[in-house]
């Protein structure tokens, strides 16, 4: 009986989903239903009891439905239907799991003999569950009563003595608690749900190649216990267009061909059928050696201004490391596998490293190791030598110039030196003179042990297979890295995305969303771009004097001038006090901000306050009502920022105009280092 109940519910789920998809997605219903059935079947597990079977069945529904529908309004409607479908069955199974009260006995008319009715399908030979009330109605009817139908045929009736068949009761522990069906399924229906889709672009101008992608981002806002602040959450990312991959056009060693890059982007926009005014967010990155070119800042700012409404210009090795890890899919892999993974994106000029664990990026670093730092044709004639390669050649006792023919042995020695430097910093602090010189950032923090390594980027693609050459040392470098990984017995896993990891990160992972409890002067014009973040470090016990001193210290630490430079003051710690009440803290905090920013207040300069917790609106009201600051200020909350971040703030999302898109980025254009 317990198997039949679970299997019946499985059948009902499949029927419900099939009919729903047929109704809402008629043009794609056949494909979508097949995908759902495949995923749903794949997730089924064995079980030994009714409760266990229902629980495993319910847990498999959400991932199967979301894999087909994604996060959208139809998803919410269907999941609410399924929660309702399971409520009575799950509660009944939970009751039966505990010791039930004595079952009411059926009494045959004209007799005192206790009996039981059971119904069986003549086609599948399974017993059919019929409620006690329906059994009584059938038993006491004076006329013909239709019997239940199963498998298209009328069921067969069987009458037995009540004590011949005993109800099956599962053992339970005294402390067993009933789990709500919503918690088992992993979906809590909400009365108010709002979705918004945002078109995003990611443009990567790299050392070796350049390309772009368009993504559709899905934002969801719902009112409920799990979203007390009613903010939009980024819940879905779908890549809808991938451009061709071209070699980054250069005028000379130090200059990017801006016009050629712009023309490439314009052509890809046309191929995708997308106009710049349709693009609502995104990021333009210059990465690797390209960030060292003399006009790197010019190109990202030009592209960002011409590519959409709110497209940010960004550059910097640590940001690139984080975005490549996110775009590769390894951040999600670390969460699913429960492992710590060191991810390395190896491109034409740099290798960007990130240690990720439990779905979070813990630490990042970057080293000048890439496949295009030495350009050689099939005859080993040198057409490109970048600064890092000049340095490596010097340390290896070589002297070559552009136009020379390098020996295969020397080319392989340079590749090996790069690979050894990379493997060194992948496992600890840089100590070798070459590794130390090539490292562009601080060393990685290895406080968490590494379980596996993964690779992306153009050279990363070659590590997992392939033998293509592109008139550089990329293939040599990939083979040297593979050899060292094998010799040192390092475990390697493969990420979902490789050569496009960074551009996917830029297009699909660069957007953050503020909380909805914000306070913004409606005279401020958006977007606001290139705002440096100044973290304000406060002790746990709030004092107005400390706020003033900490703000002034932050300006000095980051070489900013109060009243002249527009900055974002970021407060991460919650303010607590034994001296002030909660309301008094906000008022005193507002007054302290006024005292700390005398020039900005006097000259009515823009004041941007950023908070990690949901108090933006209350703080804004306190500033307006209790200080001389009456306009040209804003308070955004529920943001995660740190020292070195820059932000762009876009126009508000949704009709309430209280939630703002925020791009968190870096702007580090490295100087073209000359190696001695």
Q: What is the 3-state secondary structure (H, E, C) of 13-53?
A: HHHHHHHHHHHHCCCCHHHHHHHHHHHHHHCCCCCCCHHHH
Q: Where are the domains of the chain?
A: 2-100+175-185, 110-128+139-164, 194-317, 330-495, 518-637
DSSP 360-375: EEEEEEEES--TTSEE
Q: Which residue has the tokens 């429960």?
A: 338
Which CATH fold would you assign to the domain 330-495? Nucleotidyltransferase; domain 5 (3.30.420)
Judge contact between 117 and 157, C-beta under 8 A: yes
pLDDT score for 539:
80
Residue 563 DSSP label: T
Judge contact between 147 and 121, C-beta under 8 A: no
Encode pLDDT of 268-287 as tens digits: 999 999 999 999 888 888 88
Which segments in the chain show pLDDT lower than 70? 1-3, 98-117, 122-125, 131-145, 152, 157-178, 191-192, 222-231, 654-657, 666-676
Q: Do domains 194-317 and 330-495 have the same CATH topology?
A: yes
Judge contact between 651 and 310, C-beta under 8 A: yes
Query: Could you confirm whether domain 194-317 is CATH 3.40.1190.20?
Result: no
| C-alpha span between 331 and 108 (Å, rounded) | 66
Distances (CA, A) of 185 to 46, 85, 86: 17, 11, 9
pLDDT score for 672:
52
pLDDT score for 675:
52
Name every residue whose Cβ is closer than 8 Å to that of residue 288 and which is 6 or more positions away in sequence: 206, 207, 208, 320, 347, 348, 349, 350, 370
Q: Provide the terminal-to-terminal Cα distance of the chain, rounded to the nearest Å.
A: 81
pLDDT score for 117:
66
Name every residue whose Cβ is closer than 8 Å to that of residue 668 and which is 6 or more positions away in sequence: 291, 315, 316, 317, 318, 319
Longest pairwise C-alpha distance within the chain: 112
pLDDT score for 524:
93
Encode pLDDT of 411-467 as tens digits: 999 999 999 999 999 999 999 999 999 999 999 999 999 999 999 999 999 999 878
């Amino acid at each position: 009986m317990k198997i039949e109940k679970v299997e019946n519910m499985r059948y009902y789920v499949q029927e419900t989903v099939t009919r729903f998809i047929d109704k809402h997605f008629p043009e794609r219903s056949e494909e979508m239903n097949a995908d759902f059935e495949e995923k749903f079947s794949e997730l089924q597990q064995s079980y030994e009891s009714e409760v266990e079977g229902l629980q495993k069945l319910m847990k498999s529904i959400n991932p199967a439905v979301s894999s087909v529908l994604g996060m959208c309004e139809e998803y919410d409607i269907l999941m609410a239907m399924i929660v309702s479908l399971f409520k009575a069955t799950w509660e009944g199974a939970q009751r039966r799991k505990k010791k039930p009260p004595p079952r009411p006995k059926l009494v045959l008319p004209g007799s005192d003999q206790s009996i039981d009715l059971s119904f069986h399908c003549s086609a599948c030979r399974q017993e059919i569950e019929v409620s006690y009330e329906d059994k009584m109605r059938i038993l006491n009817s004076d006329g013909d009563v239709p019997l239940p139908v199963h498998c298209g045929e009328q069921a067969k009736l069987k009458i037995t003595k009540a004590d011949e068949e005993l109800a099956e009761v599962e053992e339970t522990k005294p402390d067993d608690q009933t789990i709500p069906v919503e918690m088992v399924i992993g979906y809590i229906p909400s009365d108010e749900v709002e979705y918004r889709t945002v078109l995003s672009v990611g443009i990567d101008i790299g050392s070796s190649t350049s390309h772009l992608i368009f993504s559709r981002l899905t934002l969801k806002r719902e009112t409920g216990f799990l979203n007390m602040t009613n903010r939009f959450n980024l819940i879905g990312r779908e890549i809808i267009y991938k451009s061709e991959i071209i070699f980054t056009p250069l005028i000379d060693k130090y200059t990017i061909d801006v016009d050629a890059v712009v023309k490439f982007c314009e052509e890809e926009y046309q191929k995708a059928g997308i106009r710049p005014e349709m693009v609502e967010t995104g990021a333009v990155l210059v990465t690797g050696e390209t960030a060292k070119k003399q006009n790197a800042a010019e190109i990202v700012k030009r592209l960002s201004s011409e590519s959409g409404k709110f497209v940010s210009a960004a550059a910097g090795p640590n940001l690139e490391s984080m975005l490549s890890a996110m775009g590769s899919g390894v951040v999600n892999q670390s969460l699913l596998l429960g492992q710590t993974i060191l991810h390395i994106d190896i491109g034409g000029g740099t290798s960007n490293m990130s240690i990720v664990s439990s779905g979070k990026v813990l630490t990042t670093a970057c080293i000048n190791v890439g496949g295009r730092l030495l350009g050689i044709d099939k005859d080993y004639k040198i057409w490109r030598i970048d600064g890092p390669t000049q340095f490596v050649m010097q340390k290896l006792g070589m002297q070559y110039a552009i136009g020379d023919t390098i020996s295969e042995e020397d080319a392989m020695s340079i590749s090996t030196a790069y690979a050894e430097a990379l493997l060194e910093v992948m496992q600890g602090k840089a100590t070798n003179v070459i590794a130390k010189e090539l490292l562009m950032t601080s060393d990685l923090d290895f406080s968490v042990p590494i379980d596996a390594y993964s690779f992306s980027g153009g050279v990363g693609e070659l590590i997992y297979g392939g033998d293509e050459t592109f008139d550089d040392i990329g293939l040599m470098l990939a083979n040297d890295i593979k050899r060292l990984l094998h010799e040192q017995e390092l475990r390697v896993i493969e990420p979902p995305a490789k050569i496009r990891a960074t551009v996917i990160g830029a297009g699909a992972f660069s957007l953050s969303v503020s909380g909805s409890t914000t306070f913004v002067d409606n005279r401020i014009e958006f977007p606001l771009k290139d705002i440096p973040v100044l973290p304000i470090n406060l002790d746990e016990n709030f004092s107005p004097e400390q706020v003033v001193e900490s703000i002034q210290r932050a300006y000095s630490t980051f070489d900013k001038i109060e009243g002249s430079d527009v900055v974002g003051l970021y407060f991460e710690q919650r303010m607590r006090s034994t001296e002030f009440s909660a309301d008094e803290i906000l008022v005193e905090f507002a007054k302290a901000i006024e005292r700390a920013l005398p020039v900005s207040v006097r000259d009515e300069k823009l004041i941007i306050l950023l908070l990690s917790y949901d108090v933006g609106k209350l703080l804004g009201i306190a500033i307006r009502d209790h200080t001389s600051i009456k306009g040209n200020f804003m308070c955004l909350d529920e943001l995660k920022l740190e020292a070195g971040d820059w932000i762009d703030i876009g126009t508000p999302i949704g009709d309430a105009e209280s939630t703002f898109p925020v791009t968190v980025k870096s702007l580090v254009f490295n100087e073209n280092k000359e190696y001695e």
